[in-house]
Amino acid sequence: MFKIAIDLGYRYVKAINENGQSILFPSLVGSPYNRQLKGLYGEEDSSNDKFHVRLLNDLGSSEEYFIGDLARESRSVSVAFDTNKIDHQNTRILLASAAALLNPENQNIHLITGLPLQYYSSQKERFKDYLSKFETYVEIPLLERKADIRFSKVTVFPQAAGAVYEAVAKHQELLKKKGSLVALVDIGYKTTDFVVFEAGAGFHLREDLSGTVEIGGAYIHREVQSRFQELTGLALDNIEMDTLIFNKGIYFAGQDYDFENTISAAQRFIAQAVIDRLKTSWGQKLDFIRTMFLAGGSVLELSEMFEGFHPGLKILEDPQMANAKGFLRVGELVQKKERRSVRQNEDIQAEQEEDMTDADNSKVTDISSKQKRIIFG
């Protein structure tokens, strides 16, 4: 089966297939319109973050959406912040689109995806059931892509724990230090997950040292929103908010507003909240952790604020894609395990057949000897 790993983040969709092709686009879904002036100034929509997609709904009729950065141009834009993603239609739209983009040959898909650590135990089975029954038809006109999307196999894994597999793959020396503790902190938009693994025969998850902090990049949005409303009396929508945070300021009603201090203060608050929780959760075990990795979409802006917290601190390469890449490695391990199981079953079956053959031959020999005794006895 063709492996596709998809990390459905609250702010970005990150995905990669077994051929190494990857995509990254904002988790935005917007209503479409006829863009008659498209291309007037030479702009193109052929990048991997701007798409117009068509999907079939449960009634068999076609629905159209702008997703990713193209959704920013929509008159109506939807962002899913639900704790349970199954309940939001954006999950279906973004999941189907990502799968179609990464499966050009329409092969049978083994989907590997994840849930925040805090929700993993309570939502895993329902999410897996939802994905196992998932089925829709997708068209992406710009790429002339048409695909029936369904998942022949589904693996659901905890976020952050997935990124650990990517970290260990890039740092094989960690596996040689038996008993060593390795931590990974995944700072996302809505939550921050942290996991600790102990090296041994493989890696063993230390659940007592793992958990979730209910804080992430969304805190910056809340602080900026509050400050903007305080200054202007108005609220910003999500699209304008992203622009403001990216530029650390915005022009409004004849005036330039600088939000650099507000953003920096919010980033410091997030980092300190995460550090305080880690100190509480890890206690004296903090000094026994050999390596601490940082991953997630918000890491690059916050990494400086973690300096000095741990001597073995490392920022994972391509931190925003870490979970998706880790999920893909999990999928590879799952399929290897299944192949070993099949081979073992085949070996057992072969041994049983051999035993049966030996037993049958023994009976024939015994019968033959009896016949000789009757004839010559």
In contact, 47 and 53? CB cutoff 8 Å: no
Any domain includes 127? yes
Residue 26 shares a structural domain with residue 134: yes
Any domain includes 122? yes
Residue 264 shares a structural domain with residue 307: yes
Any domain includes 115? yes
In contact, 115 and 124? CB cutoff 8 Å: yes
Any domain includes 25? yes
Q: What is the pLDDT along the chain (377 residues), one digit of tens a residue?
A: 899 999 998 889 999 999 999 999 999 999 887 664 454 334 555 455 568 899 877 666 788 999 988 888 887 787 766 667 777 888 999 999 999 999 988 899 999 999 988 889 999 999 999 999 999 999 988 788 888 999 999 999 999 999 999 998 888 888 777 888 999 999 999 889 999 999 876 778 899 999 999 999 999 999 999 999 999 999 998 888 989 999 999 999 999 999 999 999 999 999 999 999 999 999 999 999 999 999 998 898 898 899 999 999 999 989 999 999 999 999 999 988 888 876 766 556 656 656 665 656 555 455 444 444 333 33
Any domain includes 276? yes
Residue 309 shares a structural domain with residue 184: yes
Any domain includes 104? yes
Residue 84 shares a structural domain with residue 213: no
Residue 87 shares a structural domain with residue 120: yes
In contact, 196 and 289? CB cutoff 8 Å: yes
Residue 153 shares a structural domain with residue 301: no
Identify the domain boundary among 305, 327, 349: 327
Residue 101 shares a structural domain with residue 174: no
Question: How many structural domains comprise the chain?
Answer: 2
CATH of the domain at 146: 3.30.420.40
Task: State the helix-helix crossing angle for 322-376 and 161-170, rounded to 10 degrees.
Answer: 80
Residue 180 shares a structural domain with residue 291: yes
Residue 189 shares a structural domain with residue 140: no
Residue 16 shares a structural domain with residue 62: yes
Instruction: Work out the angle at residue 270's Cα, subtended by the Cα atoms of residues 269 and 274, and round it to the nearest 5 degrees.
Output: 115
Residue 267 shares a structural domain with residue 146: no
Q: Is 234 helix (H, G, I), strand (E, B) or coil?
A: coil
The C-alpha atoms of residue 308 and residue 219 are separated, in whole angstroms, by: 23
pLDDT at site 95 = 94
Any domain includes 232? no
Residue 281 shares a structural domain with residue 304: yes
The count of other CB atoms within 10 Å of the CB of residue 155 is 20
Domain with 191, as residue range(s), is: 162-218+259-327
Report which DSSP code applies to 61. Answer: -
In contact, 189 and 298? CB cutoff 8 Å: yes
